[in-house]
Amino acid sequence: MKELVNLEDLWKIYPVGPGVQALKGVNLRITEGEYLAIMGPSGSGKSTMLNLLGCLDRPTRGRYRLGDQDVSTLSDNELSEVRNRRIGFVFQSFNLIQQLTVVENIEVPLFYRGLPRRLRHPRSREMADMVGLGDRLYHKPAELSGGQQQRVALARALVNEPLILLADEPTGNLDTHTSNEIMVLLDELHSRGRTIIMVTHESHVAVHAERAIHMRDGQIESDTDADAENLGRHT
Amino acid sequence: MRAVHKVKDILLLGLHSLSVHKVRSTLTALGIFIGVCGVIAMLAINEGASAEAQRTLRALGSTNIIIMSRKPPQDDSKATGRTRGALNYGLTKRDETRITGGSVPYVRRHATIHQTKKMAYLAGKNLSVSVIATEPLIAEIVRIDVLAGRFITSVDMLRRKPHCVIMAPLARSLFGYENPLGKTVRIGGEPLVVVGMLSRLPQALVGEGAEATDSVIIPRTTGMDRFGELIVEARTGSRTFERVEISRIILQMEEEKDVLAAAPIIRSLLERNHDQEDYDVKVPLELIEQKKKQMFLWNVMLVTIASVSLLVGGIGIMNIMLATVVERTREIGVRRAMGAKQWDIIAQFLVESVTLTTVGGVIGIAAGVCLPWMIQRYLQFPTETSGWTILLPFLMAVTVGLISGIYPAVRAARLDPIAALRHE
Ligand SMILES: Nc1ncnc2c1ncn2[C@@H]1O[C@H](COP(=O)(O)OP(=O)(O)OP(=O)(O)O)[C@@H](O)[C@H]1O
Ligand SMILES: [Mg+2]
C-alpha cells in the first residue's frame, strides 16, 4: 500500500508564556485507505495534530510528508492550495456558512479551486445526493438537523476528492442515533477506499476505525498497529 | 481563464453578502450617496455662478481698461481743487493726452465719456436723464445694440450736430407708442433730434450706479457746444458745485495680454499726477482673473468639505466592515480551511466595501446631476455640470471605499484559520 502521511519527529510549541509543548516529537505513518482514530485525554494534543495534518498550521520542528510532497515548509498560499485539493475537513460543530444554501456550502471548495459555476453546481448536487440530501439542496443550514448539517459538511469535505478526510470529533455534537448515521457513512467511505483520520474520545465511535492511536502529553502513547506488530512478534 | 471567472465569482460573492444585509448596506451607501450628490450639486452651482460672472465681466470687454473719475474721500482741511466754491476732481484732458499720447504701450483706440444729469422735456413731460457725451468710436470698443435708426456718427461729431440716441425705455416714457426717430426733445434746455434708439448699453458706458435705461447719448462735440467743457453739477440742497472734466476713459488694447502689462503703467501714471485718489482704474480681465481665482478657492473649499463628508462616510464603511469581519470570523476560518488564500479573503471584503461606495456613488451622480438641473429649471439659477465635477467626487468615493475596506479586509485575511474556526 502507498504511504500517504509520514510524520517525523514532529513538534508543536505554542509561543505562550514559557511555551506550550502541544506535540513532542511525534512519528506516524499512515498508508492509503487507512481508517485511523486518534484518542486520548483532553489536552493531549489530538486537535493540534489534526490541524497539522490538515495543513491549517505549521509544525515548530520536524517533517511532514503528505503524498509525494513535503508540506512542513510551504508558504501560506501553497498550504491553502494543499488544503483545497488534498484535504477534506469535518468539524465537531459542522462549520457550515449560515447564509449559504446546502449546494452553495458544498460548492465552497470548488469555488476556491477556481471551477466555473456551471461545473460547480452539478458536482455539488451529486455530492448532496451521495449523502442523502438531494431533496434539501436549497435549504439553509439553520433549517437542517445536526445530522443533516454534518452530512452536508461531509459532502463539502469530499467534493474535491481529497487524499485524506480529517474529522475532529465529528459526532461530538450529535445524539447516538444520528451519530450512528454519520459513522455508517464514514464506514461506507472507508470501504470504498477513502483514507480517514478521526479524533474522538468515545470508544464506541473509535471501534469503527481499523487502527487507533492513543495520545498523552503530546506524544503517541500507544498505536494498535504497532501493538499488533508487537503481538505478532511475541507469538 | 481561471482568474477571470474567479474574479466574477468573488464579485458575486460580495454582492451576495451585501444583499443579505440590505438595510445595513443601504444605510452605509446612503452616506456616500449624500456626499457625492452634494458635492456634484455644489460644484455645479459654483461653476454656474462663476461662468455667469465671467460672462458679465467679458461683456465689459476683456481687452478694455476703464478709467473713471471718482469723488475723492471728503477731506475739508486739505482744500485742494476747491476754487470758487466748486469741488474739482477726476480725470482731466491732460490725463487723456498723457495716457493716449504714447507713454502707455499697446493702446489701440480709446473713447472719452462726459456724463451729466439733465432734465428732458417733451410735451409737458419732465424727466431726469443721464446725458452721455462721447465719440462714435465707442461703438467699436464696447458692444452697442441699435434697435432702430442709427448710432451717432463721425459726421454728427464733426458737424457738431444736435443729434441724440436714446434708450428704448426712455423713448417709451417720452414718446409713448410714437416712433421717436426724427422727433425733437429738449434736454437741459437744448433741442436735440432723436436719430436712433438702443436696446441695451454696457455698464462700462453708463458708469457705476447709473441706470442704462434713462440714458441719452450725444456726440462729444455737441456736448461741449451745448453744455460746456466742464461737467457742473449742483448738489441739491447744497451750494457746492462739482467739476469733472472727463467722467470715463475707455481704452482698448491690442490684445488681452497687453491689458495686464498696461494697467500698472496707467496706474502709476495717474498716481504721479493726482495728489488724491479721485480716479479708479478698472480692468475687466483682472476682475475675470480675480473671479476665476475666487471660484477656484471656492472649488477647493467645496472639494475639501466633500473630502470630509466622504471621510466620515469612509469611517462609517470601515466601521461596518470591521463589525462584519468580527461577525463572520467563523466563516473566514471555514473558507480558509476549504482552501481560500489570504488574497481571496481580502478580495471578498474589498468587493463589499467598494460595491457599497460605487453604488452610493452612481446614485449620487444621478441625483447630483438632476439637482442642479432642477435648480436651473425652477429657480432660474445658472448651474454648470462638467466632466470633472462628476468624475472627481465619484473617484473620491470609490477611493474611500477601497481605503476604508483595505484595513478590515487585511485583518480578516490575517486571522489565524484555527483561531477563526474556534471563534464563537
Ligand atoms: N493556540 C494555542 N495556544 C496555546 N496553547 C494551545 C493552543 N492550542 C492548543 N494549545 C494547548 O495545546 C495542548 C493541546 O491542545 P489540543 O487542543 O490539541 O488538545 P486536544 O487533545 O484536542 O483536547 P480536547 O480533547 O479537549 O479537544 C493543550 O494544552 C492546549 O492548552
Ligand atoms: Mg480537541
Interface ipTM: 0.94
Cell numbers describing residue B405: 475596506
- Grouping H, G, I as helix, E, B as strand and the rest as coil, residue A194 is coil
Contacts with A169 from chain B: Cβ below 8 Å: none
Question: Among A163, A198, A6, A38, which Cα is nearest to A88's?
Answer: A163
Give the per-residue pLDDT at B85: 60
Q: Are strands B215-219 and B163-167 parallel, antiparallel or unpaired?
A: antiparallel
Q: CA dist B331 to A89, B28, B324, B424, Å?
A: 14, 22, 11, 11
Sheet holding A69-70, edge to edge: A20-31, A3-14, A61-66, A69-70
Which residue out of A46, A168, A205 has the highest number of ligand 1 atoms within 8 Å of its CB and is therefore the one to mutate? A46
pLDDT score at A199 = 95
Q: What are phi and psi of A14, to 5 degrees?
A: -80, 130
Residue nearest to atom 25 of ligand 1 (CA): A42
Q: Which of B3, B331, B339 sits opposite A80 (nearest CB)?
A: B339
- From chain B, pick out residues whose CB is under 8 angstroms from the CB of A112: 335, 338-341, 344
Q: Is the pLDDT of residue B94 over 60?
A: yes
CB contact under 8 A, A95 and B421: yes
Q: How far is A14 from chain B (nearest CA, A)?
A: 13
Whether chain B has a CB inside 8 Å of the CB on A56: the answer is yes
Query: Do B337 and A117 count as a contact with CB atoms less than 8 A apart?
Result: no
Handedness of CA B95, B96, B102, B105 (dihedral sign): positive
The least confident of A79-83, A186-190, B183-187, B252-256 is: B252-256
Atom in ligand 1 nearest the alpha carbon of residue B416: 1
Q: Point out the residue among A57, A81, A108 whose CB comes nearest to the CB of B335.
A: A108
| CA angle A104–A108–A112, rounded 5-degree value | 140
Burial level of B79, CB count in 10 A (0-12/13-18/19+)? exposed
Q: How far off is chain A from B330, nearest CA to CA, in Å? A: 8
Contact check, Cβ <8 Å, B340/A81: no
CA of A193 to the centre of ligand 2 (A): 26
- Centre of ligand 2 to C-alpha A85, Å, is 24
Q: How confident is the model at residue B79 (pLDDT cuts 50, 70, 90)?
A: very low
Chain A residue numbers with beta carbons less than 8 Å from the beta carbon of B336 are 56, 80, 83
Q: What is the mean pLDDT of residues A197-223?
A: 92
The whole-number average pLDDT for the span B135-149 is 87
Which of the pair, B75 or B139, is modelled with greater confidence?
B139
Q: Which residues of B touch A98 (CB under 8 A)?
A: 331
Q: Say if residue B77's pLDDT is above 50.
A: no
Which among A112, A121, A152, A168 is the top mutation candidate for probing chain B, defined by the most B β-carbons within 10 Å of its own β-carbon?
A112
Instruction: Pick A109's closest partner by Cβ from B6, B17, B339.
Output: B339
Q: Is A172 in the pocket of ligand 1 (CB under 6 A)?
A: no
- Would you state the pLDDT for residue B240? 59
CB pairs under 8 A between A and B: 67
Nearest CA to ligand 1 atom 7: A14
Residue A211 phi, psi (nearest 5): -145, 145
The pTM assigned to this predicted structure is: 0.73
Q: Is 60 exceeded by the pLDDT of residue B82?
A: no
Average pLDDT over residues B112-141: 88
CA distances from A24 to A8, A224, B260 (A): 11, 20, 87
Residue with CA nearest ligand 1 atom 28: A43
State phi, psi for B208 to the nearest 5 degrees: -70, 145
A42 C-alpha vs ligand 2 centroid, how far in Å?
A: 7
**Domains in chain A, please, with CATH?**
3-232 (3.40.50.300)
Residue of B410, B394, B355 lying closest to B25 (CA atoms):
B355
Q: Whose CA is nearest to atom 30 of ligand 1?
A: A43
Question: Minimal Cα–Cα distance from A83 to chain B, Å?
Answer: 5
CA distance A220 to chain B (A): 22
Torsions phi, psi of B214, nearest 5? Answer: -110, 30
Contacts of B337 in chain A (CB under 8 A): 54, 56, 83, 89, 95
Position in ligand 1 atom list of the atom nearest CA A49 = 18
Q: To the nearest whole angstrom, how far is the Cα of A75 from the nearest Cα of chain B?
A: 11
- B261 part of contact set with chain A, CB < 8 Å: no
Which 8-state DSSP code applies to residue A52?
H
Which chain B residues contact residue A91 at CB under 8 A? 421
Considering only CB atoms, B342 lies closest to which of A54, A76, A95, namely: A76
* Distance in Å, CA A92 to ligand 2 centroid: 9
Res A142: pLDDT: 95
Q: Could you tell me the pLDDT band of residue B289, with boundaries at 50, 70 and 90?
A: confident
A-facing residues of B in 330-369 (CB < 8 A) are 330-331, 333-344
The CB density around residue B254, as the number of other CB atoms within 10 Å, is 14
| pLDDT tens digits, B365-411 | 999 888 888 888 888 888 888 888 888 888 888 888 889 899 999 99
Query: Over the stretch A117-131, which tens digit does the pLDDT of each residue have?
Result: 889 999 999 999 999
Burial of A122 (0-12, 13-18, 19+ CB in 10 A): exposed
Protein residue closest via CA to atom 29 of ligand 1? A43
Query: What is d(CA B337, CA A57) in angstroms, rounded to the nearest whole number?
Result: 10
Among the partner-chain residues B17, B338, B417, the one whose CB lies closest to the CB of A109 is B338
Of A189, A227, A231, A211, nearest to A37 by C-alpha is A211
Q: How far apart, in whole angstroms, are the C-alpha atoms of residue B248 and residue B250? A: 6
Answer whether A14 contacts ligand 1 (Cβ < 6 A): yes
Please give the Cα distance from B389 to A20 (Å, whole number).
Answer: 60
* Amino acid B25: pLDDT: 86
Task: Please state the length of chain A.
Answer: 235
| Model confidence pLDDT, tens digit, residues A26-49 | 999 999 999 999 999 999 999 999
Q: Which of A185-199, B52-66, B99-113, B129-143 has the highest mean pLDDT?
A: A185-199
**B318 to chain A nearest CA, in Å?**
22
Mean pLDDT along residues B144-159: 90
Q: Which residue bears the cell 510524520?
A: A7
Question: What is the distance in A from the centroid of ligand 1 to the CA of A224?
Answer: 24
Q: Which residue has the higher pLDDT, B87 or B355?
A: B355
**What is the rounded CA–CA span in Å between residue B154 and residue A108?**
92
Is the pLDDT at B336 greater than 50? The verdict is yes
Which grid cell is B316?
462609517
Q: Measured from the CB, is residue A16 less than 6 Å from ligand 1?
A: yes
* Predicted local distance difference test score (pLDDT) of residue B233: 58
pLDDT above 90 for A88: yes
**Interface check A75 vs B, CB under 8 A:** no
Q: Which residues pair with A8 in a beta bridge?
A: A63
Q: Is the pLDDT of residue B343 over 80?
A: yes
